[in-house]
Amino acid sequence: MTVFHFFNCAILTFGPHAVYYSATPLSEYDTIGTSVKAALVYLLTALVKLVCLATFLNVSENDSFDPYQELLKALIGFIDVAGLYFALTQLTHRNISQNHKFQAVGLGWAFADSVLHRLAPLWVGARGLEFTWDYILQGLEANANLVLCISLAALGSLMWLRKNKPKTLIPIIYACAGIVATMPSITSYLRRGLGWHFPKVVGFELFTSLVMAFISWQLFAACQRPST
Amino acid sequence: MATTSKARQREVFESMYSVIALLFILVACVEVLDAATVVDVYRLIQYDLAGVPFGSRLASLNHHAGSSLFSPGTDLSRTVLVLPVRELNITFIREFIGQRQPLGGLLLLLPRIFSSENRGSMGGADQNSGKELMRNILMELERLLIHANIPYPVYFAFEDDNIDSVLADVKKNDATGQPATATTGGYKLVVSAPEPKKLISPTMINIQGWLPGLKADGDSNQLPTIAIVASYDTFGAAPALSVGSDSNGSGVVALLEIARLFSILYSNPKTTGRYNLLFGLTSGGPYNYNGTHKWLQSFDQRLRESIDYAICLNSIGSWENELWIHVSKPPENAYIKQIFEGFSNVAEELGLKVGLKHKKINISNPRVAWEHEQFSRLRVTAATLSELSVAPELLESTGGLFESRHFVSEAAIIRSVKLVAESLARHIYSHHGKNIKIFADDSSLAINPSYITSWIDLLSRTPRVAPFLSKNDPFIMALKEELADFTVDVNLQHESLDGIFTFYDTTSARLNVYQVASVTFDLLLLLVLGSYLIILFSFLVITTRGLDDLISLFRRPPSRKAKTA
């Protein structure tokens, strides 16, 4: 019954992306093209990131937390933000509203991330005889990542696309974007620096993703009000 | 004011912490995973005796683990029973195997002290009695398993922390109700082994070495020979665990030490005796001393006639104060009398007791209980020195499971070596009746206890079931090298084991223990995931498009019809 388990984990990992697409107005406006483009940008960004990581980072023999290396990693992680910026501003989308644009980009981004990082381990590991919770947790992590990606895309669209936003909110937006963008480094710190176990880390990720989603939603709504 | 606001803040923080803590506790509950465990397992021997199958007839295993036989009515044909030998009810097992009830497989856990890696001290008297009990249980179990035809795989493993925790889990699972099958999860034990194949023409290897004596000037007659013989191979329920420390590791060690002592004497022409000494390490001991038979057959007539007498050493490692000399000629025979008197005189001086046992040979009976009987059948005077007072049955006392290093004492071996070496020396140098200690404790000819310890340790780590020893097995090479250090003309004699035995391979394997989820768990997970996705879908539709849209999704086209109308 291991293929069954694989199937379950795959549903958990990739299901929410599909549900998100079909449940929200994204499907009505046929924004799949935008998502695909965002996914391609993600792939390119991942490649650039890989090159940077390979160039600047030492391979650590032990699994310990090295602050300098982690800082470097976090900086390289900001390439993601650049890629997202490119996807949001430079790509010519068919005229879809900003509202849908960031969702489509975030979705494509998150989906590409899931496929790249989770499909192969799932295929190799979840079909084995030994049962572990790892792949279920990994699926939950993918969910958290989806929420975070869409939050980041929302914040990015607020930063770069919306011109007339309340001045008081700007630092908050930037701060939130900064937090969301450094999420991978934070989780890496929790895992290696503090020695948290995987379930705990995933719980943390889920929790923070929900919090960040709530905050960015509120910010988005606050920015929406004066313009309309 | 400031303090109250701070307090409120703290309260908020604390409530936050409690929420986070709750979340973490929920998550931590899930953390019960451990990775696949791999255990070395040793298969029960599989052999045919004159075409009749015995032992475990299968090798590959892929079933769920169970811990108890005591579940009437349940089908155990897809369950691997994991039974620690220390808790084994031998009568129940006997009945179970006797009734040939279906079973997926059997994994017997041996106590740690029987592991060859474990060489701790002998412990207190209390522990000793426990060991003695354990030994008896294992003896019974081994006898039972060797003589049964078991249609499922049977493996032995040593208890360790991993397997103990698995067993504890399995027991807990069994205690809560249903035994583990495909629908309730638990542990799956997997041994992937090919179908056992017959061993084609198993060989036995005899090793012999000479210490030539010195002829007196002008004596043209051939020198008489004294043979010292020990069979070195073993047979047991698990071929990979049959190290036979006592039977007959102790005999091999004693033989090597005697060879060492006499090689010192024979290296000087002044102390070289008027006897040739022949040392033989024979194989095929458990199979009616088939190897000894072949070895003697290979001698030419003159050599065989030149053998004055032969001393066979068998199981001399755990006796307290009485050894037995087994002979097949009547005690009144002059040669026998001479040997026995030689031994008993020395024994008396050493404060030991030696008894004589006479057992007639029945030529028509194929069973050869003692090694000397092979000599006697060819009319060579021979005797077996052993701590066993009764002749063992076929495939008994051949170095099985229970013979661990713990049950052999170096002191006993040293006593035996002293007895044999001293009486041999008196015979060779004609010091009959004189109280001369040639191998005194502090002389240059003293017995070397560390030599004995190191060899008995090596033998207690090396399984030596003849059919599974390859032609140039490192152990046989080591024996040969060792004998070559003390004697000359050392050679190996390869003989094929003939007769009624057929053996099958796969003596050891690796057992993978997987923790598996049940089908019901997977179904439940699917259900949970499905509802999660549906709720997510509904939530997203409601928040982005409103409740009406969600409801309209489930409404059938009639609404459109109504519109057009």
Contact between A15 and B533 using a beta-carbon 8 Å cutoff? yes
Q: Does A202 touch chain B (CB under 8 A)?
A: yes
pLDDT of residue B121: 44
CA distance A47 to chain B (A): 32
pLDDT of residue A216: 86
Helix axes A98-125, A2-23, angle to 10 degrees: 180
Residues of B within 8 A of A202 (CB-CB) are 27
Phi, psi (degrees; rounded to nearest 5) at B137: -60, -45
pLDDT of residue A50: 87
Out of A144-153, B245-254, B537-546, least confident range:
B537-546
CB A114 within 8 A of CB A11: no
The partner residue sitting opposite A200, judged by closest CB among B28, B514, B517, is B28
The DSSP element (H or E) to which A183 belongs, if any, is helix A183-188
Contact between A131 and B533 using a beta-carbon 8 Å cutoff? no
pLDDT of residue B450: 94
Segment B508-534 mean pLDDT? 87
The partner residue sitting opposite B522, judged by closest CB among A8, A16, A22, is A8
Out of B31-35, B261-265, B457-461, B546-550, least confident range:
B31-35
CB B326 within 8 A of CB B359: yes
Q: Does A211 touch chain B (CB under 8 A)?
A: no
Tens of each residue's pLDDT in chain A, 228 residues? 578 888 888 888 899 888 888 888 777 777 788 888 888 889 999 899 888 888 877 766 666 667 777 788 888 888 888 888 888 887 766 667 777 888 888 888 889 988 888 888 888 777 777 777 888 888 899 999 999 988 888 888 888 877 777 777 788 888 888 888 888 888 888 887 787 888 888 899 999 999 988 988 888 888 776 544
Residue B450: both structure tokens together? 């560390």
More confident call, B229 vs B520: B229
pLDDT of residue B31: 38
Residues 121-160 of A with CB under 8 A from B: 129-134, 136-137
Q: Provide the pLDDT confidence category of residue B488 given band limits of 50, 70 and 90.
A: very high
pLDDT of residue B385: 93
pLDDT of residue B34: 43
Nearest-CA neighbor of B111 among B135, B142, B141? B135
pLDDT of residue B563: 47
Q: Is residue B71's pLDDT more than 70?
A: no
Burial class (CB in 10 A: 0-12, 13-18, 19+), A203: buried
CB B389 within 8 A of CB B357: yes
pLDDT of residue B152: 92
Strands (E), B292-430: 307-314, 322-327, 353-358, 382-386
CATH of domain B203-496: 3.40.630.10
Phi, psi (degrees; rounded to nearest 5) at A185: -70, -40
Q: Provide the pLDDT confidence category of residue B371 given band limits of 50, 70 and 90.
A: very high
Q: Is residue B237's pLDDT more than 70?
A: yes
| Amino acid (one-letter) located at A163 | K
Q: Does B35 touch chain A (CB under 8 A)?
A: yes
Q: Which long-range CB contacts under 8 A does A45-52 form with residues at least 24 apart?
A: A45/A79, A45/A80, A45/A82, A45/A83, A46/A112, A46/A116, A48/A79, A48/A83, A49/A76, A49/A77, A49/A79, A49/A80, A52/A76, A52/A79
Phi, psi (degrees; rounded to nearest 5) at B88: -75, 135
CB B512 within 8 A of CB B524: no
Nearest-CA neighbor of B305 among B296, B318, B317? B296
Nearest-CA neighbor of B204 among B240, B225, B227, B235? B235
Report chain B's mean pLDDT, rounded to a whole number: 84
* pLDDT tens digits for range B144-182: 999 999 999 999 999 888 888 888 888 887 777 665 555
The DSSP element (H or E) to which A160 belongs, if any, is helix A134-160
pLDDT of residue B382: 93
* pLDDT tens digits for range B281-325: 999 889 989 999 999 999 988 888 899 999 999 999 888 888 999
Distance CA B60, CA B67 (A): 19
Segment B264-278 mean pLDDT? 90
More confident call, B556 vs B552: B552
- Of the spans B6-10, B114-118, B387-391, B439-443, which averages the highest pLDDT? B387-391
Q: What are the boundaries of each domain within chain A? A: 2-227
Contact between B30 and A199 using a beta-carbon 8 Å cutoff? yes
Percentages of chain A per state (helix, strand, coil), in multiples of 5? 80, 0, 20
